[in-house]
Amino acid sequence: MGIIAIHGGLDTSRENPFLAVLQKAALEGYQLLDTGRTQALEAALKTLENSPRFNCGYGSVLNLNGVVEMDAAIVDGATNRFSAVAAIRQIRNPISVARRLMEKTRQVLLAGEGALEFAKKEGFPEGNCISEEQFKAWQKGKDSLARGKPPSQNLFTGLEYLGDTVGCVVWDGESLAAASSTGGVSLKMPGRVGDTPCLGGGIFASQTSAVVCTGVGEAFIETLTAKYVDERIAEGAHPQQAVELALKRLDEMKGSQGGILAVDTWGRIGSAFNAGQFPVVVVKDGKIEENFTPINLRPVLLEE
């Protein structure tokens, strides 16, 4: 008994090559759910970090200087433990470093050189995180900036197709946990950190719910959107109602797009977005939920 739900990022394609990786990730994570919530989360997100199709790990976007700096976080609602790495470089699986930080230390957040030093000390190999496609996209974006024009590609990925932070939530029949991983925003300032390693902003888990968000990180941080979702569920809202309320609030307060995925202590799932696409895969009791579709609020918000 249990649930694992994973998303591939705001506006990521729902075509088969992308969904196939998401399904593989969810199933691999579910197989470890009996072993532990954080183990399941790590396994699922490592699969996405190892795929160049998603903006995390290998295939992350490049910053202005042509460097990949990644954020990742994991939170366990049952134990109130949280750990994250921010602006980490040269490590293909930041989510594994975040989990190791939780297991080996009492620290909750390491950034930059400190995060890389910890990863190397723990035996994580350094590696190239720049895919050929992302490097070409970075060159194209820099050329546009040099001509005084805004880059034509997507802000979140630097590519012609879209995609953003990936995230995963789990419910093992009793307790909840969540994890996220991201390369951030294309052509971002060096050192920029988004909402992924900000507890309550882009990620949260408690004895009530597990929540992950994707979109403009600064907006989620300033509105504590993930914590807002948890609070609404704690007050009695269904997760679906909670995520829809949160996205409407985000639009009203910041005019920002986003996607949110949540599960509560009864195993109920909420998933909504207000952009082009938001691919989500749900595995319940070991089987993929074939007809699961996130709610698109974009038409509603445009009407309003």
> Which residues are known catalytic residues?
165
Give alpha helix (H) positions in the chain.
16-31, 37-49, 94-104, 112-121, 132-146, 217-223, 225-234, 239-254, 298-303
**CA-to-CA distance for 125 and 127, rounded, in angstroms?**
6
Structure tokens at 203: 């990620």
**CA-to-CA distance for 43 and 211, rounded, in angstroms?**
18
Residue whose C-alpha is closest to residue 48's, from 217, 275, 233, 214:
214
Dihedral sign for Cα 108, 225, 18, 287, please: positive
**CA-to-CA distance for 158 and 133, rounded, in angstroms?**
9
Structure tokens at 173: 């029949």
